Chains A and B, each alone.
Chain A
Amino acid sequence: MTNAQLKDDLLAGRPQFWDRLAQSTRDASQFNELLMLSSLRKKAHLRGLARPGIDGDPLRVALLGGYSLYPLSELLDHLCDAGRFPCRWFLGDFDNYMAEIMDDGGALYEFAPRVVVLMPSEHRCKYSGKLTDPRETQRAEAAQVVESLLGLARRLHEKTGAEVIMTNYFLPARHDLGPYRSRTLGSIWSFRKWVNLELGLGAPPYLHLCDLEFLAYRHGGILARDDRAWFESKQPCSSTLLPHVARELAAIISNLRRPMKKVLVLDLDNTLWGGVVADDGLEGIEIGDTSPRGEAFKAFQKSIRLLKQRGVLLAVCSKNDHDKAAAPFEKHPEMVLRMEDFVSFKSNWEPKSDNLHQMALDLNLGLDSFVFIDDNPAEIDIVRQFAPEVSTILLGPDPSGYVAQLEDCRLFEPRTITVEDADRTLQYQSEEKRRALSSGVTDMEAYLASLAMVATISPFSAVDAPRLSQLINKSNQFNLTTRRRTEADIHALIAAPAWACFSIRLKDQFGDHGLISILIGEKMDDRLRIDTWLMSCRVLKRQVEEVALNELARLAIALGCARLEGIYLPTPKNEMVRDFYTGMGFTLVRESTEAREFELDLKSFQPRKTHIKIATP
């Protein structure tokens, strides 16, 4: 039994305890299992069992609500901490959230949370009048409930700058009014449904919803509730649902600062179609509406294509001869996916882990943005061993379950879908064309000139905030400091006068790259300190670096600064910009294992010449 093993590790003080704990925590679905794991974890902390590789301050999270927040807080603390995302908690009193939020000098604001989780009381969400009142009166009251919730979120955000996570409302699962429940907005059923819908649609970017209505629906409405638990200890839901609520909250909290996955890499035989194309032939594979298995594979391809439309890049990694593997995509009429859907197609006899490493190089992306899907446990295992940064999905034995597995993998959840996401495949494909052109043009200057590049420089704006935060949180390689920021942080920067922040968009004759570089500078006396300099690697060495430097220098001089200060903070992924500042004419002034600091004197600064035309935003 795993608990016995964990207890044994703990009593013997073995550091593997932490990895085993993380694994058991991922696997645990029962309330009790998680509580026991949490209690073991706390004992390990008490005993001072060392856990290497956790750095940075814990995130300050406040948890408020109209329920007893214990043991939810315990589960949440456990999921975050065991998932290597330690948090410090402020726990509101039972149903005291209004007072806590309204008290300007109170303990909540003193705690200075970066994230506030609010579970408003469902007892305040019901229509106060009669079932037969006019629809407009009922609707107005629902709108008022939504407005007051949004008001609480706004106040929290404005006072603390924190991201706010709010739960919506459970729906009742008892017959009560019978079919009449959906004929009036005055029933709790309709009223809460309406409030939930309006709350989600009206939520500003800093407000993230934890959808209790959905979680309970998924779990089963009757199983989700437990009246005894409410009467005895004011619990929001049953103990079987509580771990799912905690997991959802933990996922939202950690995803605020974690980059998203970008590439889905697919096996072919028995993944995208039934059978083995090299053995069964083009006619023999199962795909399409002529058999139930064929239909299942076709549905799976459709769900993959939906991911592509949401901005996920698709690639193939298969053990096959290239021509045989390509044939279904080119010739089979029932295939949903086609060659042009893929940014990379590796069909050869090399180990799949090697192919994935090569793909990451070709696409200029970190391996940790890859997800690999295969029906063969041996292939999954080799990837887990030799490319451990890649997330893997091992498909089950029945293709009718593939779509559900993909839809439940939780690796491709957008916070906000941006227009650029949908265009990304196009961008990577034109990058291939550009490379082809680059190899034909030996003179770099002539090549750059031939691209007809146009850059737009924009100061940070509220409308760009989702895209800015997205790029800030996913850029790893060309990122000098890897400082992550939420949308709320961006809004704070827009309002701060001592900060100079701008982004760069780039177009060329092959397409629109969208927003590809972000610069954040802070004026400190007579210098402008470059807090953040990051760029999408797709546009490396295209002179966007120079454009950015020119703009930084211009802003710094306008702010009365005499020098630019740059800093490089090394991470496992940003080695490529270690010497970036010296390449841009900066002088190295200090160096340690944690940081390299640089300066550029602006007195003698001459703007760099580039082949990029600057457009006004």
Chain B
Amino acid sequence: MTQSEVIEKLQGIFDDIFLEPVKLTPALSAKEVPEWDSLLHISLIVAVEKEFGIRFRVGEVEATHNVGEFADLIARRMGEP
């Protein structure tokens, strides 16, 4: 999956979780979305792992800074057996 394909799928997950619509772009970060608090963040990670069928390694989600980096990480983990 390319970054934009991942972001497209992510958009669906966000739409499900967030009450106010959020338009995802590669440069968007959690700080810019008031509703994106630690509670929604946890929901998001659990939902992403489930929807994409992946498991992040310890500490690596925290190291991403925006939606683009997060999508790249997802794509990388999807390439693994």
Interface, chain A (partner B; CB < 8 A): 3, 7, 10-11, 31-32, 35-36, 38-40, 43, 70-71, 74, 228, 231-232, 239
What residues of B have a CB within 8 angstroms of the CB of A36 in the complex? 17, 43
Q: Determine the distance from Cα of A35 to Cα of B40 in the docked complex, in whole angstroms.
A: 8
Given contacts A231-B58, A231-B59, 20 further A-B contacts (CB under 8 A): A3-B16, A7-B19, A10-B19, A31-B46, A32-B46, A32-B47, A32-B50, A35-B39, A35-B40, A35-B42, A35-B43, A36-B43, A39-B19, A39-B43, A70-B38, A71-B38, A228-B58, A232-B59, A232-B62, A239-B42
What residues of B have a CB within 8 angstroms of the CB of A40 in the complex? 19
Tell me, rounded to whole Å, the shortest Cβ–Cβ distance linking A288 to chain B. 47
What residues of A have a CB within 8 angstroms of the CB of B50 in the complex? 32
What residues of B have a CB within 8 angstroms of the CB of A228 in the complex? 57-58
What residues of A have a CB within 8 angstroms of the CB of B42 in the complex? 35, 71, 239
What residues of A have a CB within 8 angstroms of the CB of B39 in the complex? 35, 38-39, 71, 74
Quick one: closest A residue to B50, CB to CB? A32
Tell me, rounded to whole Å, the shortest Cβ–Cβ distance linking B56 to chain A. 8
Q: Determine the distance from Cα of A39 to Cα of B36 in the docked complex, in whole angstroms.
A: 11
Q: Determine the distance from Cα of A38 to Cα of B42 in the docked complex, in whole angstroms.
A: 13
A239 and B46 contact, CB distance less than 8 A: yes
Q: Determine the distance from Cα of A7 to Cα of B21 in the docked complex, in whole angstroms.
A: 12
For the complex of A and B, 4 pairs with smallest distance between CB atoms: A35-B43, A32-B46, A228-B58, A231-B58
Interface, chain B (partner A; CB < 8 A): 16-17, 19, 38-40, 42-43, 46-47, 50, 57-59, 62
Tell me, rounded to whole Å, the shortest Cβ–Cβ distance linking B64 to chain A. 14
What residues of A have a CB within 8 angstroms of the CB of B58 in the complex? 228, 231-232
Quick one: closest A residue to B61, CB to CB? A232
Q: Determine the distance from Cα of A40 to Cα of B43 in the docked complex, in whole angstroms.
A: 13
Q: Determine the distance from Cα of A71 to Cα of B38 in the docked complex, in whole angstroms.
A: 9
Quick one: closest A residue to B16, CB to CB? A3
What residues of A have a CB within 8 angstroms of the CB of B47 in the complex? 32
Q: Determine the distance from Cα of A255 to Cα of B80 in the docked complex, in whole angstroms.
A: 48
Q: Determine the distance from Cα of A284 to Cα of B17 in the docked complex, in whole angstroms.
A: 55
B43 and A32 contact, CB distance less than 8 A: yes
Quick one: closest B residue to A229, CB to CB? B58
B62 and A43 contact, CB distance less than 8 A: no
Tell me, rounded to whole Å, the shortest Cβ–Cβ distance linking A383 to chain B. 36
Tell me, rounded to whole Å, the shortest Cβ–Cβ distance linking A370 to chain B. 38
What residues of A have a CB within 8 angstroms of the CB of B16 in the complex? 3
What residues of B have a CB within 8 angstroms of the CB of A39 in the complex? 19, 39-40, 43
What residues of B have a CB within 8 angstroms of the CB of A32 in the complex? 43, 46-47, 50
Q: Determine the distance from Cα of A32 to Cα of B16 in the docked complex, in whole angstroms.
A: 11
Between A and B, 27 residue pairs with Cβ closer than 8 Å are A3-B16, A7-B19, A11-B19, A31-B46, A32-B43, A32-B47, A32-B50, A35-B39, A35-B40, A35-B42, A35-B46, A36-B17, A36-B43, A38-B39, A39-B19, A39-B39, A39-B40, A40-B19, A43-B19, A71-B38, A71-B42, A74-B39, A228-B58, A232-B58, A232-B59, A239-B42, A239-B46
Quick one: closest A residue to B42, CB to CB? A71
Q: Determine the distance from Cα of A257 to Cα of B17 in the docked complex, in whole angstroms.
A: 35
Tell me, rounded to whole Å, the shortest Cβ–Cβ distance linking A47 to chain B. 10
Tell me, rounded to whole Å, the shortest Cβ–Cβ distance linking A376 to chain B. 37
Tell me, rounded to whole Å, the shortest Cβ–Cβ distance linking B61 to chain A. 8
Tell me, rounded to whole Å, the shortest Cβ–Cβ distance linking B33 to chain A. 13
Tell me, rounded to whole Å, the shortest Cβ–Cβ distance linking A459 to chain B. 50
Q: Determine the distance from Cα of A36 to Cα of B58 in the docked complex, in whole angstroms.
A: 24
Q: Determine the distance from Cα of A31 to Cα of B40 in the docked complex, in whole angstroms.
A: 12
Q: Determine the distance from Cα of A232 to Cα of B16 in the docked complex, in whole angstroms.
A: 25
Instruction: Determine which residue in B39, B47, B62 has the highest number of CB atoms from chain A within 10 A of its CB, and name it.
Output: B39
